[in-house]
Amino acid sequence: MSQNPSAQSLHVHDEERGLQETLRYPLFDALRNRRTRRVAKGIQSIPAGSLSYTSKHEPEPLTALEEALLIASTGITGVTLPDQPFLTEDGKPLVGSPMVDVIGRTAGSPDNAQATSFFLINDSGTYFLRRPQGGDALMLAGGQLTAARLIAYAEKCKVKVSDKRVEFPRQYPYYMGRNRYMSNVPGSTILVPVVDLTRQYINGIMFLLTQDAGHRPTFIDDWNFYRVAGVQKWVRNGFLNKDQKIPLGVLGTARIPYEADFLMQNIFLVAEAMGLGAWIHAAFIGPVLLGDPEYRNAGNSLGFRYHTPRNLVRQALKFISPLPSWRPNPVGLDGLMQGYCPPYYGSMDEAVDALIAHKYGPNGLYTNPKDFEQVFKPGLAQKFVSEVPHYSEEVIACAKDVCNYIYDTYDRFPAHADAMFVPGVWIQMHHLDLDYYDQLFSNGYSETQARHEELWHGRR
Q: What confidence tens digit (pLDDT) does each residue in 258-308 have?
A: 999 999 999 999 999 999 999 999 999 999 999 999 999 999 999 999 999
Q: What is the mean pLDDT of residues 336-358?
A: 98
**CA-to-CA dists, residue 236 to 8, 207, 212, 221, angstroms:** 69, 21, 17, 18
Separation CA 230–CA 459 (nearest Å):
66
| DSSP 8-state code for residue 176 | -
For residue 5, pLDDT beyond 50:
no
Q: What average pLDDT does the segment 131-136 reach?
A: 76
Question: Is residue 430 within 8 Å of residue 185, measured between CB atoms?
Answer: yes
The answer to whether the CB of 391 falls within 8 A of the CB of 248 is no
Per-residue model confidence (pLDDT) at position 13:
62
Check: CB of residue 189 under 8 Å from CB of residue 97: no
The pLDDT of residue 7 is 40
Phi, psi of 70 (to 5 degrees): -65, -40
- Residue 410 and residue 341: Cα distance in Å, rounded? 13
Distance CA 410, CA 415 (A): 6
Count CB-CB contacts under 10 A for residue 371.
17
Question: Binning pLDDT at 50, 70 and 90, where does residue 323 land?
Answer: confident
Check residue 12 and give its pLDDT.
57
Nearest to 372 by CA among 67, 78, 38, 51: 78
Which of 10-24, 98-112, 209-223, 270-284 bottoms out in mean pLDDT, i.e. has the lowest? 10-24
Query: Are 420 and 337 within 8 A, CB to CB?
Result: yes
DSSP code at position 59:
P
Report DSSP letters for 363-420, one per residue. T-TTT--TTGGGTSPTTHHHHHHHHSPPPPHHHHHHHHHHHHHHHHHHSSSSSSS-SE
What pLDDT does residue 138 have? Answer: 73
More confident call, 403 vs 3: 403
CA dihedral 61, 335, 102, 404 (to 10 degrees): 130
pLDDT band at 83 (very low <50, low <70, confident <90, very high): very high
Per-residue pLDDT at 11 exceeds 70: no
CB 70 within 8 A of CB 192: no
SS3 (DSSP) at 117 = strand
- State the angle between helix axes of 258-274 and 5-24 in degrees (0 to 180), rounded to the nearest 10: 100
- CA 299, CA 454: separation in Å to the nearest integer? 38
Angle between helices 198-208 and 348-360 (to 10 degrees): 80
Give the torsion sign (CA, 429, 433, 439, 443): positive
Nearest to 249 by CA among 422, 417, 421: 417
* Cα separation, 331 vs 339, whole angstroms: 5
379: exposed, middle or buried (Cβ count in 10 Å: 0-12, 13-18, 19+)? exposed
pLDDT at 230 over 90: yes
Sequence-distant (6+) residues with CB within 8 A of 396 are 206, 352, 356
Quote the percentage of the chain above a pLDDT of 70. Answer: 96
Contact 414, 201 (CB under 8 A): yes
Which pLDDT score is estimated for 10? 43
Phi first, then psi, for residue 395 (nearest 5°) are -60, -45
Q: Cα(162)–Cα(190) distance, rounded to whole angstroms?
A: 14
CA angle 340, 159, 42 (to 5 degrees): 125
Sheet holding 337-338, edge to edge: 305-307, 329-333, 337-338
Which is more confidently placed, 200 or 136? Answer: 200
Q: Which of 7-21, 124-138, 141-155, 390-404 has the lowest mean pLDDT?
A: 7-21
Mean pLDDT over residues 75-88, rounded? Answer: 90
Q: 6 or 313: which carries more pLDDT confidence?
A: 313
Which range (11-20, 81-90, 242-251, 385-394) has the least confidence?
11-20
> Distance between CA 223 and CA 407 in Å, rounded?
14
> In which band, very low, low, confident or very high, does the pLDDT at 412 lie, cut at 50, 70 and 90?
very high
Query: What pLDDT, on a 0 to 100 scale, did the predictor assign at position 142?
Result: 77
Question: How many helices and strands, by DSSP H and E, does the chain display?
Answer: 16, 15
pLDDT digits (tens, 9 = 90+) for 356-370: 999 999 999 999 999
